[in-house]
Amino acid sequence: MRGRVAVVTGASRGLGKAIAMALSGAGARVALVARDLDKLNQTASEIARAGGDARPFRADVGDEQQVAALERAVLAEYGQVQILVNNAGINLRKPLVEFSLEEWNRVVNTNLTSVFLMCRAFVPHLKGRGYGRIINIGSTMSWVSIPGRSAYSATKAAILGITRALALELATEGVTVNAICPGPFATELNTALLQDPKVSEWFMSRVPVGRWGRVEEVGAMAVYLCSEQAGFVTGTDLVIDGGWLAQ
């Protein structure tokens, strides 16, 4: 991927960080995007120590004006973009009737509206090159759900819809659009689950391979989707869940 520029949201931790490091390891220059600048700088430093090229960009990708400013900053730094990974996400776990409208909108803005805003800003820069890659991070909750995941599941199910529609819009441009749908992964987003032995045991009872996913496994999948070999893969989702959905 030498010569390619990738924009990765939610790159300060978890899956976003792993994807950014994997793309950098494959030769891409990476624009790291998140709200926590200190953690972004840590990610950039790790990539630099590994011989990669990454720059931090602080932005709330659910905010229209901040996304517009991000677009200008990334283009000023790199002059081009070929890869967009929409990974930013949050999860509020509670029954639907306990959600305030502010909480619901916060999940929707971060998980879904951000995908719309980032694609609207960066898709024009992917066109006309004969190559482009967009990866949206969904979830097993795009397909199934469990109690207390109403807002999260709603946004992750919608990710599949926007992925399919945008893939069709960009198919003749050589730009592929796909989703990665992870199951239980040992990330900061799941810290509360990991630290509760009973909850963690319940999740593991649902995963046939019997373990939490490793973030590097999602990074490797992202590298494949961004490769030339994946040029015929578009408008779909790749589930990486240790067999959860096979049951």
Interatomic CA distance for residues 217 and 53, integer angstroms: 21
Residue 190 has pLDDT above 70, yes or no: no
Output Rg (C-alpha) for the chain, integer angstroms: 17
Enumerate residues 6+ apart whose C-beta is below 8 A from 177.
134, 136, 163, 166, 167, 170, 234, 235
Give residue 189's pLDDT.
62
Q: How far apart are CA 141 and CA 144, in angstroms?
A: 5
d(CA 244, CA 140): 8
Domains defined for the chain, CATH in brackets: 5-240 (3.40.50.720)
Q: 115: closest CA among 156, 75, 149? A: 156
CA distance linking residue 96 with residue 61, whole number of Å: 25
pLDDT at 194 over 70: no
**pLDDT tens digits for range 121-154:** 999 999 999 999 999 999 999 999 999 999 999 9
* pLDDT recorded at residue 202: 78
pLDDT(192) > 90: no
Q: What is the pLDDT of residues 164-179, one digit of tens each?
A: 999 999 999 999 999 9
Q: In the block, which residue shows the tokens 């990334």?
A: 74
Q: What pLDDT shows up at residue 197?
A: 76
| Spatial separation of the C-alpha atoms in residues 199 and 203, rounded to whole Å | 6
Residue 198: pLDDT over 90: no
Task: Give the pLDDT confidence score for residue 20 in this predicted structure.
Answer: 98
Interatomic CA distance for residues 136 and 231, integer angstroms? 16
The helix or strand, by DSSP H or E, that contains position 167, with its residue range, turns out to be helix 150-170
Please identify every residue annotated as catalytic. 152
State both tokens at 95: 């029954």
Average pLDDT of the chain is 94
**Local confidence band at 185 (pLDDT 50, 70, 90 cut-offs):** confident
Question: Is it the case that residue 214 has pLDDT exceeding 80?
Answer: yes
Give 26 or 193, the one with higher predicted confidence. 26
Compute the average pLDDT of residues 182-189: 79
Contact 46, 247 (CB under 8 A): no
Integer Cα distance of 28 and 133 in angstroms:
12
Whole-model pTM above 0.85? yes
- What does the pLDDT average to over 100-120? 98
3-state SS, residue 5:
strand
How large a percentage of the chain has pLDDT more than 90? 87
Question: What dihedral angle (degrees, nearest 10) is formed by the CA atoms of 226, 10, 137, 5?
Answer: -20
Span 225-235, average pLDDT: 98
